[in-house]
């Protein structure tokens, strides 16, 4: 495998987990596709999007229902040697049986051919060395996950690290140690996959962020996450552009009137800055809340463009002589990411003029595809925007029904003469029969 070549490849993968009630699926994958090379990749999504199913596939603990999963060119479910080079942190700890943590880790290290003396060093690397002397049954959920994470980080010559929420429910005293270790493994050529629903964790470490939406990886963004909640440049006409939020921390000065309540009759501060920004076209809304003791305030700014809003804040602060402490951009929530993803899907979906045929196959010869049909940045070539559900029966063509025979024109009248047809003969009682009506009669 050449340097920079994909380590993890998903090709049209369909799978489902069994984490729901009574073993039913909680989430599924529908034609997921990706090619992940060395580095840190964050897969951002919820269990309902198929993150649990994806974790099982990458760990080699389950085969896909359709498609292929390859790690360094091999199926991890069928290749034991490949699984031995995959570090796994599952949604729930799965430590080998043992009376103590030491014996449990000894079994795991023996299975991978690593020296048993490395158990203490692995735990020490996370700052949880005292757990080695504990009984396995005495571990809490978070402590057991910390031991499993230490084992995952200690895989010899790792190809892949598949970590499910490595910064949640893990009793590691210093998350920074975990980040440093993961970054070192990625720099050495391993593919680190963080499966998480936290945009904060994704932005803190990942080189690339892949958004998993309802079973399909539909977006890939840079690791800084600046575009996670942003609208695409090719959004549909009239589509609302999601707002961005900026937090401005500023120092409040002592009240002009010492007897005045907090935030009243003060020297220029949050109130003055908000008033100055109210007339700025770069700012859509501003609100503030006082900090502890009224010594500081946080001003929340909502705007369409982050850079333009930041410049407006700096200009207003200089004019009003306001002392700024920091301007930060909070991590978007999953709700924000989903809203932006919906706009990206609309932008990628082909749009056709009113009355135009559906599908490129029905376009006239030589006609160009409608605008907006370009795939999403980082999306798989097949752009799986519409995928059949599991177990969908194949389409069966309806049997041909012969059209009813149409009487010859001569039978309806007197041929070319245009004379009206002859009246029906009277009934036995001398009355005329009722005229037959069609579906459009009597309107």
Q: Is the dihedral of CA 198, 60, 72, 214 positive or negative?
A: negative
- Give the pLDDT score at 159: 96
Ramachandran quadrant class, 318 (left: phi over 0; alpha: psi -120 to 50; beta: rest) = alpha
Q: Give me the torsion for CA of 119, 158, 221, 15, rounded to 10°.
A: -100
- Give the pLDDT score at 14: 96
**Chain center to CA of 391:** 25
Separation between Cα atoms, residue 301 and residue 279, nearest integer Å: 13
- Give the pLDDT score at 139: 95
Q: Residue 210: phi, psi to the nearest 5? A: -110, 120
Residue 115 has pLDDT above 80, yes or no: no
Most confident of 59-73, 116-130, 235-249, 367-381: 59-73
- Give the pLDDT score at 394: 42
Q: Tell me if the pTM is above 0.75.
A: no
- Give the pLDDT score at 264: 44
Query: What confidence tier does 291 reach under pLDDT thresholds 50, 70, 90?
Result: confident
Interval 136-176: pLDDT, tens: 999 999 999 999 999 999 998 999 999 999 999 999 888 99
Separation between Cα atoms, residue 54 and residue 69, nearest integer Å: 10
- Judged by DSSP in three states, 71 sits in strand
Residues 192/182, Cβ–Cβ less than 8 Å: yes
Please list, in sequence order, all residues whose beta carbon lies within 8 angstroms of the beta carbon of residue 81, skipping any fewer than 6 positions away.
Answer: none
């Amino acid at each position: 495998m050449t340097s920079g070549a994909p380590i993890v490849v998903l090709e049209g993968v369909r799978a489902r987990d069994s984490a729901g009630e009574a073993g039913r699926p909680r989430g599924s994958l529908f034609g997921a596709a990706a090619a992940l090379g060395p580095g840190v990749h964050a897969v951002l999504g919820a269990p309902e999007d198929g993150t649990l199913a994806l974790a099982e596939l990458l760990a080699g603990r389950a085969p896909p229902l359709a498609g292929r999963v390859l790690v360094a060119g091999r199926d991890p479910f069928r290749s034991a040697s490949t699984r031995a080079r995959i570090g796994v942190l599952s949604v729930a700890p799965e430590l080998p049986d043992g009376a103590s943590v030491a014996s449990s880790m000894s079994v795991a290290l023996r299975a991978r051919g690593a020296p048993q003396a490395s158990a203490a060093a692995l735990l020490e690397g996370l700052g949880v060395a005292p757990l080695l002397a504990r009984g396995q049954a005495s571990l809490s959920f978070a402590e057991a996950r910390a031991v499993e994470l230490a084992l995952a980080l200690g895989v010899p010559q790792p190809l892949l690290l598949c970590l499910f929420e490595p910064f949640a429910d893990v009793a590691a005293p210093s998350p920074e140690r975990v980040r440093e270790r993961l970054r070192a493994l990625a720099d050495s050529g391993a593919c680190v996959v963080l499966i998480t629903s936290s945009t904060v964790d994704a932005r803190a470490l990942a080189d690339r962020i892949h958004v998993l939406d309802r079973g399909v990886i539909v977006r890939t963004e840079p690791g800084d996450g600046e575009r996670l909640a942003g609208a695409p440049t090719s959004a549909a006409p009239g589509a609302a552009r999601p707002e961005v939020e900026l937090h401005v921390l500023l120092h409040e000065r002592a009240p002009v009137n010492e007897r005045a309540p907090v935030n009243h009759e003060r020297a220029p501060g949050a109130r003055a800055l908000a008033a100055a920004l109210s007339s700025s076209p770069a700012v859509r809304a501003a609100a503030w809340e006082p900090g502890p003791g009224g010594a500081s305030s946080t001003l929340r700014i909502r705007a369409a463009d982050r850079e333009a809003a930041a410049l407006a804040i700096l200009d207003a602060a200089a004019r009003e002589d306001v002392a700024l402490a920091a301007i930060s951009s909070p991590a978007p929530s999953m709700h924000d990411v989903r809203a932006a993803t919906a706009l990206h899907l609309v932008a990628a979906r082909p749009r056709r003029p009113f009355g135009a045929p559906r599908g490129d196959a029905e376009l006239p010869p030589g006609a160009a595809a409608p605008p907006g049909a370009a795939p999403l940045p980082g999306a798989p070539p097949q752009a799986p925007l519409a995928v059949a559900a599991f177990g969908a029966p194949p389409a069966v063509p309806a049997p041909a029904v012969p059209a009813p025979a149409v009487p010859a024109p001569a039978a309806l009248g007197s041929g070319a003469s245009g004379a009206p047809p002859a009246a029906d003969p009277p009934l036995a009682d001398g009355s005329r029969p009722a005229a037959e009506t069609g579906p459009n009669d009597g309107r």
